[in-house]
Amino acid sequence: MAQDGSLLTKKKISKEKEILAGADKKRRIVDFTGSTGQRYLRTCFIQIFEDEVHHTITSSQLFHPGEKVAIGASGGKDSTVLASVLKTLNERHGYGLDLVLLSIDEGIKGYRDDSLETVKRNAAQYEMPLKVVGYDELYGWTMDQVVETIGKKGNCTYCGVFRRQALDRGAKMLGIKHVVTGHNADDVAETVLMNLLRGDMARLSRSTSIVTGDDRSEVKRSKPLKYSYEKEIVLYAHHKKLDYFSTECIYSPEAFRGSARSLIKQLERVRPSAILDIVRSGEDMARLVPGESASSCACKGQKAPVPAISEDDIAGCGSQSGGAPGGEMAAMDKQLRENEEHAGLEIDVTKKIFENRQGGKGTLKEIPTRSGNPASKGSNGPRQVLGNCKRCGYMSSQDICQACTLLEGLNKNRPQIQL
Amino acid sequence: MGSSEPTSCETIPITVEFSGGLEMLFSNKAKHAVAVPSIDPVTNSPFNIGHLIRHLVDNLITDDRTDLFVLDDHLRPGILVLINDADWELEGEEEYEIQSGDAILFVSTLHGG
């Protein structure tokens, strides 16, 4: 089951070969012009894209009939494509899903207010109800105010922590237990790379799962577009003439993810399959991490101890960090160091477990084999208990949840700023 | 591009379109009617997509952040090009020789979603 990713990749590659046979191209995208080919192939691309997402959904058993599912909708290309594809597939294959759009208003003027207009149009186009939850109502702070207080540096951490909770809370308000997000293969590959560069295997392994959260967490997350190239998503949106919003978040240019993103795009130019290869490598590496459920398939019910913050949510905002490629690595290195400073803010339960199990020694004595089942092997380790935040009551593995910790810092600073 | 001087070579009309956020770099306008020389004056070879990219940087871009469009004299990785709605990978990428009436679309994939 954990092989899903690789199987799909293989399947994709063979499909590509079929499509592009004779064109001597390793890679897809599909739209030949001229004469009779054009229309057929365009339809063909759309059909293949939808079929692949359908395959991901069925092979991972992401949904059950009658399930209420909230689509995390930002108005950007990924979530717009996700909403469109899910609507199409839900009708075509009779998933029986009750789909709702769930948007977070971070309170960023000139960015989110505009993109929310796109989401509103999408809600009408796709005939889905829309729920908008604002940072201001949940936390008493908009991101504009946060940035005014702490500056642009590190603001993505705040935004990411707040967004994660906000999506969960929004889902709870709607009585929904499953949120799907538009994370694509490029996003997952970036996250794998970032965690590789940080040496954070525990989080790396978690970031490759298609589903996060389990029965104990109230809201589960999944990413149906996990195996879709960003390129395909953009082309799909283009060919289906989808209405999406594409302005960069005005606060994101410093995000670490931006450097990883540039690197991935450069790799893709040289080796188009690099992105899915990285995703697959991430899944393979995940299997080597003790105690981690490496399955990319939901059918076994994953035991992620606590739905820890995944990088996905911290900066799903892909940023363009300018500069020459030579500067990218330097910039990334700098970001890595800065990121370590922020690491203190992040809950990382699994990592602790991992360290404990090594008996405090830095070296790994026992390397689990691929054929073994790591999930059953090392599950006796102490797991942190999922409780509730003493302040806001939201689920948390610590007395005070991350959002409240960040808010405390912000609230302390507020008087200074207002003077 | 208004400066298409009456040199030895004639110009050909094409449409250049930007989306996915790139339009911000080009006076916030998505569609541009552009006249390009049929022969590149520098290399004296038929005008291709590579020449077009340089031409756009020299003549059409209005934002200082040209590195969001080109890096090291090539199109920035992560920007898709569709030539008459076909992926440029199928058309020879920068080598594709531009024909009269071509519609060239540049789409950034780099923006959040």
Distance from CA of A2 to the nearest CA of B (A): 27
Residues A193-198 have a mean pLDDT of 89
Distance from CA of B109 to the nearest CA of A (A): 6
**Contact across the interface for B86 and A249, Cβ inside 8 Å:** no
Which of B83, B87, B102, B104 to mutate to test binding with chain A, by most A CBs within 10 Å of its CB?
Answer: B87
Q: Could you give the CA distance from residue A395 to residue A341 in angstroms, rounded to a whole number?
A: 25
**Contact across the interface for B87 and A76, Cβ inside 8 Å:** no
Q: Band the pLDDT of A93: cuts 50, 70, 90.
A: very high
**Contact across the interface for A316 and B68, Cβ inside 8 Å:** no
**What pLDDT score was predicted for residue B37?**
94
CB-nearest partner of B90 from A23, A74, A249: A23
List the one residue out of A58, A75, A64 whose CA is nearest residue A7: A58
Q: Could you give the CA distance from residue B20 to residue A320 in angstroms, rounded to a whole number?
A: 12
What would the DSSP string read from start to end of B6-37? --SS-EEEEEEEEETTGGGGTTT-SEEEEEEE
Residues of A with Cβ-Cβ distance to B111 under 8 angstroms: 76-77, 246-248, 318, 320
Could you give the percent of chain B with pLDDT greater than 70?
89
CA-to-CA separations, A339 to A151, A189, B23, B32, in angstroms, rounded:
16, 18, 32, 41
What is the largest distance, in Å, between two alpha-carbon atoms of chain A? 70
**Contact across the interface for B68 and A238, Cβ inside 8 Å:** no
Look-up of token digits 């590496």: A285
Residue A26 in this model has a pLDDT that exceeds 50: no
Residues of B with Cβ-Cβ distance to A247 under 8 angstroms: 21, 24, 111
Residues of A with Cβ-Cβ distance to B105 under 8 angstroms: 238
Residue A123 in this model has a pLDDT that exceeds 80: yes
Higher pLDDT, residue A409 or A374: A409
Q: Show the beta-strand stretches assigned E in A171-226.
A: 178-180, 211-212, 220-222
Spans of all domains in chain A: 4-350
List the one residue out of A310, A300, A299, A306 whose CA is nearest residue A205: A310
Distance from CA of B13 to the nearest CA of A (A): 19
- Angle of the A325-343 helix axis to the A185-198 helix axis, nearest 10: 70
Residue A10, CA atoms < 13 Å, CB-side half-sphere: 4
- The fold for domain B11-108 equals Ubiquitin-like (UB roll) (3.10.20)
> If you measure CA to CA, which chain A residue comes closest to B91?
A32
Domain A4-350 in CATH 3.40.50.620? The answer is yes
What are the residues of chain B with a beta carbon less than 8 Å away from any beta carbon of chain A? 19-21, 24, 65, 67-68, 71-72, 76-78, 80, 82-87, 89-90, 105, 107-113
Residues A356-376 have a mean pLDDT of 45
> If you measure CA to CA, which chain A residue comes closest to B73?
A324
CB-nearest partner of A32 from B24, B80, B86: B86
Residues 6+ apart with CB under 8 A from A385: A397
What would the DSSP string read from start to end of A274-298? HHHHHHHHHHHHHHHSTT----S-G
Q: Band the pLDDT of A339: cuts 50, 70, 90.
A: low
**What pLDDT score was predicted for residue A98?**
96
CB-nearest partner of B80 from A186, A235, A248: A235
> For the segment A378-402, what is each residue's pLDDT rounded down to a tens digit?
334 444 566 778 888 777 777 888 8
> For the segment A231-280, what is each residue's pLDDT rounded down to a tens digit?
999 999 999 999 998 877 777 654 566 678 888 888 988 888 899 999 99
Distance from CA of A16 to the nearest CA of B (A): 13
Q: What is the mean pLDDT of chain A?
A: 74
**What pLDDT score was predicted for residue A327?**
54
Question: Quick check: A382 and A373 in contact, CB under 8 A?
Answer: no
**What pLDDT score was predicted for residue A214?**
58
List, for chain B, all residue ranges whose pLDDT scores fall below the cut of 50. Answer: 1-6, 113
Q: Of the given ranges (A40-44, A105-109, A217-221), which has the lowest mean pLDDT?
A: A40-44
Q: Band the pLDDT of A122: cuts 50, 70, 90.
A: very high
**What pLDDT score was predicted for residue A250?**
73
Residues of B with Cβ-Cβ distance to A25 under 8 angstroms: 89-90
**Contact across the interface for A29 and B87, Cβ inside 8 Å:** yes
> If you measure CA to CA, which chain B residue comes closest to A34?
B84
List the one residue out of B66, B78, B70, B32 whose CA is nearest residue B51: B70
**Contact across the interface for A76 and B72, Cβ inside 8 Å:** no
CB-nearest partner of A25 from B68, B84, B89: B89
Q: Per this entry, what is the length of chain B?
A: 113
**What pLDDT score was predicted for residue A110?**
82
**Contact across the interface for A77 and B24, Cβ inside 8 Å:** no
Residues A54-66 have a mean pLDDT of 96
Residues of B with Cβ-Cβ distance to A78 under 8 angstroms: 112-113
Q: Band the pLDDT of A18: cuts 50, 70, 90.
A: very low
Higher pLDDT, residue A23 or A157: A157
**What pLDDT score was predicted for residue A400?**
85
**What pLDDT score was predicted for residue A153?**
78
Higher pLDDT, residue A393 or A65: A65
> If you measure CA to CA, which chain B residue comes closest to A111?
B112
Q: Could you give the CA distance from residue B1 to residue B15 in angstroms, rounded to a whole number?
A: 12
**Contact across the interface for A25 and B21, Cβ inside 8 Å:** no
Q: Band the pLDDT of A207: cuts 50, 70, 90.
A: confident
Distance from CA of A83 to the nearest CA of B (A): 12
Q: How many CB pairs under 8 A join A and B?
A: 101
Q: Could you give the CA distance from residue A101 to residue A69 in angstroms, rounded to a whole number?
A: 9
